[in-house]
Amino acid sequence: MSLIRFILIVLLQLIAILAASNSVRASTVVIWPVDPVLKPGEQATGLWLENKGDKPVTLQVRSFDWSQVNGEDRLVPQNDIVASPPIATVEPGKRQLVRIYRRVVAQPGGPTEKSYRLIVDELPQLPHVDQQGGTSAGLAVQMRYSIPLFAYTLDTSDKAPHLVPTYRASGAERVVEIRNAGTVHARLTDVRMLLGGQEQLIKAGLAGYVLPGATLRLSLPDNAPGTVRVGVNGQDVTLTPAI
């Protein structure tokens, strides 16, 4: 047996021993609602943090202004929306209510919808000290959750996103660009393409958000132009891209 092979075998055995002896704690945090909103006239809403695990978890909630530039999310710190308390330790089997406050009064002529992101970070726990004074070898896994928050100044029940799809081809790549020309966001789910009477799933579940004035770019798997069907804020919509 060569020396290099012997060293590799020893390293693999050490990794297996460490994996068996070290505990890796997966996230056990449940957050709801997953789509909080601030309705017109509301100055606060609630976000629940629940600990389903058997150890305390410490969570930090921060709020950011959310925009989309060139198809990418951009998060900027701001103080219009704040969380209270910003940091909370939740005991096992317990839950914590975090209040999300709107600190500004809506200005006349402003946008009817403002978009924010609530970033919830699970902060690492301090190493556990055993009775002999040593620290445990457990690995603390830090989790991050990103929750969309929409704040409204006017009733938008009669408004819907205005999606303008454009079909594009660049070399072997074929894409559809979906621009939101409306005044409220679009939550896109279950993107499908219709080709020859057959429906082909492109992306299951959440495909992303398109904020007002922004564009979402989706790759298409086939070289033939087709009709795109997608869930928009819970309603199935058929989009026929322009060639």
189-243 confidence digits (pLDDT tens)? 999 988 777 888 989 999 999 999 999 998 887 666 678 899 999 999 998 765 5
pLDDT for residue 49: 98
The pLDDT score that the predictor gives to residue 19 is: 36
Q: Is the pLDDT of residue 50 over 70?
A: yes
The pLDDT assigned to 104 comes to: 85
pLDDT tens for each residue of 73-113: 999 999 999 999 999 999 999 999 999 999 987 666 678 89
Q: How confident is the model at residue 14 (pLDDT cuts 50, 70, 90)?
A: very low
Higher pLDDT, 164 or 128: 164
In the predicted structure, residue 137 carries a pLDDT above the cut 50: no
pLDDT band at 116 (very low <50, low <70, confident <90, very high): very high
The pLDDT of residue 7:
45
Which has more confidence, 51 or 167? Answer: 51
Reported as a single tens digit per residue, the pLDDT across 31-43 is 999 999 999 989 9
Per-residue confidence (pLDDT) for residue 10, from 0 to 100: 40
For the chain, give me the number of helices (H) and strands (E)? 1, 17
Q: What pLDDT was estimated at residue 86?
A: 97
